[in-house]
Amino acid sequence: MDLGIKGKVALITASSKGIGKSVAESLSAEGCMVAICSRNKEELLSSTADIKKKYGGDPFWVLCDLNKQKDIENTVTSVEKQFGKIDILVNNCGGPASGNFRDLTDNNWQEAFEQVLLSAVRFSNLIIPNMILQEWGRVINITSLTVKQPVDNLMLSNSLRSGVIGYAKSLSNEVAKFNITVNNVAPGYTLTNRIYDLAVHNSKRLGKSHEEILVDMAKEIPMSRLASPEEIASAVTFLASKQASYITGNTIHVDGGLIKGLF
């Protein structure tokens, strides 16, 4: 199926590896010009080389710490200078620290707020005015299953991700008349460094090896396995497509059936 986004410019944030990198690959496969960013230059160089080798084009990278407003401004300016516009914004971020109410400091909360919610607001504020002028745009936020079903020991994600959903719904109402859609993809447990690190972190607390924790996670999921990052990226790419033009203000769970609720 032709998704109708060939030649569109996509900026994917926090994308040097994991789900963000997979989204960049999937959009490149559809003929988008992609820009990736993160704090890690080596990973960015290696990921842009991978993408170029697999899909051609000229993937662009920018060093960016999502907790720094100046870096966010520089990223948007650099991508617009490189490609002339941004049509698709994928707001991804690093996962917030794990911990329960006794563990988390004010500083943890502040950093997580800046990374998870404020970075999405800042990128959207800088990019949407041009999407309005061109009367087309896609904003897709990568959130988490925690927006529907809190996960033990992930208080920051459980709290702040819902803010992204509320923000996206409100924003979607404001910009729908300009052919700009705003949606969220909520991954379930996905095989990336993030899930591996969480399993290692939880192994002491739960008295189990990280391998056992990953097996236990899979047992919770009706599909009996974790997602691949590509399966999350496919949903993001569909939401970016021409065919998804009437879907806005929505959250799609890509979780193998893990969320137990009806909606």
Among 184, 192, 241, 251, binds ligand NAD (CB under 6 A): 192
The single residue among 66, 88, 155, 160 that binds ligand NAD, judged by CB under 6 A, is: 66
> Which C-beta is closer to ligand NAD: that of 175 or that of 210?
210
- Please say whether the beta carbons of 15 and 23 come within 8 A: yes
Instruction: Compare residues 95 and 137 and give the one whose CB is closer to ligand NAD.
Output: 95
Are 208 and 253 contacting, i.e. CB atoms less than 8 angstroms apart? no
Rounded to the nearest whole angstrom, what is the least distance from the CB of residue 37 to ligand NAD in the complex? 7
Contact between residue 248 and residue 172 where contact means Cβ atoms under 8 Å apart: yes
Query: Which residue lies nearer to ligand NAD by CB, 19 or 155?
Result: 19
Nearer to ligand NAD, 42 or 106 (CB): 42
Phi, psi at 13, each rounded to 5°: -90, 160
Quick check: 185 binds ligand NAD (CB under 6 A)? no
Nearer to ligand NAD, 18 or 59 (CB): 18
Of 23-31, 60-68, 166-174, 245-253, which segment contacts ligand NAD by CB under 6 A?
60-68
- Two tokens, residue 27: 């959009």
Q: Does 253 bind ligand NAD (CB under 6 A)?
A: no
Q: Exposed, middle or buried: residue 84 (CB in 10 Å: 0-12, 13-18, 19+)?
A: exposed
| Least distance CB 132 / ligand NAD (angstroms) | 26
Measured CA to CA, the distance from residue 44 to residue 15 in angstroms comes to 8
Instruction: Find all residues with CB under 8 Å of 262, minimum gap 6, and list them.
Output: none
The pattern of x and - marking residues 132 through 171 that bind ligand NAD according to CB under 6 A reads ----------x-xx--------------------------
Cα dihedral 208, 116, 15, 204, rounded to 10, equals -10
Judged by CB under 6 A, which stretch of 89-97, 99-107, 176-184, 241-249 contacts ligand NAD? 89-97
Task: Please report how close the Cβ of residue 176 comes to ligand NAD at its closest, in angstroms.
Answer: 26
Distance (Å, rounded) from C-alpha 45 to C-alpha 30?
Answer: 21
CA 167 – CA 247 distance, rounded (Å) = 16
Q: How far is the CB of 17 from ligand NAD (least distance, A)?
A: 4
By CB under 6 A, residue 26 contacts ligand NAD: no
Give yes or no for residue 241 binding ligand NAD (CB under 6 A). Answer: no
Alpha carbon separation from 223 to 231, 233, 242, 247 (Å, rounded): 13, 18, 30, 26
The two most distant CA atoms of the chain are separated, in Å, by: 55
For tokens 């997979």, the residue is 22
Instruction: Tell me which residues touch ligand NAD (CB under 6 A).
Output: 14-20, 38-40, 64-67, 92-95, 115, 142, 144-145, 187, 189-190, 192-195
